[in-house]
């Protein structure tokens, strides 16, 4: 339970900081990933273990990329081509990973696959400061809440965190949209 609570606390802090477009969010993101790795290992969520390992590295890259002095740190929208690509990646990735996870003791292979792939794509777009990340996160957080609620040993703190994050994704989208419109 300590890993679930730690991941929840660091996740809430990170969520508020990223919503406010603060670079320091990545520090709490990295700490959250460490706690989620341990939680996922204990609960045999193999997709999440792979996902959180990648996130740990992406957290370091995100911290580096979010340099406010660079032109690349501006918030932008994904192009139509990028949207088609991320929808295809989420769909195909979910199908492929669920086939792999069905051969393990993962209690929720399809749900674990979807949340794994969609959150990986959402994190990539968050690193790149694409406002579309919040649409993906909104959908992802709903499915993560379901996953944590229906686990054999319910993860109620992480369930609650993902409910909060669902609402924070809406607020983040609104806030990032205001910031994006104010950029010149």
Q: What is the DSSP string of 68-92?
A: TTSGGGS-BPPPHHHHHHHHHHHHH
- Give the structural domain span for 135: 2-182
First to last CA, the chain: 46
Q: Are 127 and 61 in contact (CB under 8 A)?
A: yes
Burial class (CB in 10 A: 0-12, 13-18, 19+), 70: exposed
Rounded distance, CA 32 to CA 87, Å?
Answer: 26
More confident residue, 60 or 43: 60
Give per-residue pLDDT as tens, 129-159: 999 999 999 999 999 999 989 987 778 888 9
Please state, rounded to an integer, the average pLDDT across all residues of the chain: 90
Give per-residue pLDDT as tens, 78-117: 999 999 999 999 999 999 999 999 998 888 999 999 998 9
Give per-residue pLDDT as tens, 151-184: 877 788 889 989 999 999 999 999 999 999 988 6
- Tell me which residue of 49, 47, 7 sits closest to 28, measured CA to CA: 7
Cα atoms in the Cβ-side hemisphere of radius 13 Å centred on 68: 5
At residue 174's C-alpha, the angle toward residues 142 and 76, to 5°, is 100
pTM, rounded to two decimals: 0.83
> What's the whole-number mean pLDDT along residues 65-71?
71
Q: Which residue has the tokens 């969010």?
A: 25
Number of domains in the chain: 1
């Amino acid at each position: 339970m300590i890993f679930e609570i730690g991941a929840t606390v660091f996740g809430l802090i990170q969520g508020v900081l990223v919503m406010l477009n603060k670079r320091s969010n990545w520090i709490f993101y990295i700490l959250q990933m460490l706690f989620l790795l341990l939680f996922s290992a204990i609960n045999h969520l193999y997709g999440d273990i792979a996902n959180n390992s990648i996130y740990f590295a992406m957290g370091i890259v995100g911290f580096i990329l979010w340099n406010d002095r660079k032109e690349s740190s501006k918030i932008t929208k994904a192009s139509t081509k990028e949207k088609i690509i991320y929808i295809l990646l989420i769909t195909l990735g979910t199908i492929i990973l669920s086939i792999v996870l069905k051969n393990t003791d993962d209690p929720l292979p399809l749900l674990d696959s979807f949340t794994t792939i969609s959150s990986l794509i959402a994190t990539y777009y968050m690193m790149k400061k694409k406002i579309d990340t919040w649409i993906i996160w909104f959908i992802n957080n709903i499915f993560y809440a379901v996953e944590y609620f229906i686990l054999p040993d319910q993860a109620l703190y992480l369930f609650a965190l993902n409910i909060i994050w669902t609402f924070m994704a809406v607020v983040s989208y609104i806030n990032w949209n205001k910031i994006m419109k104010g950029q010149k």
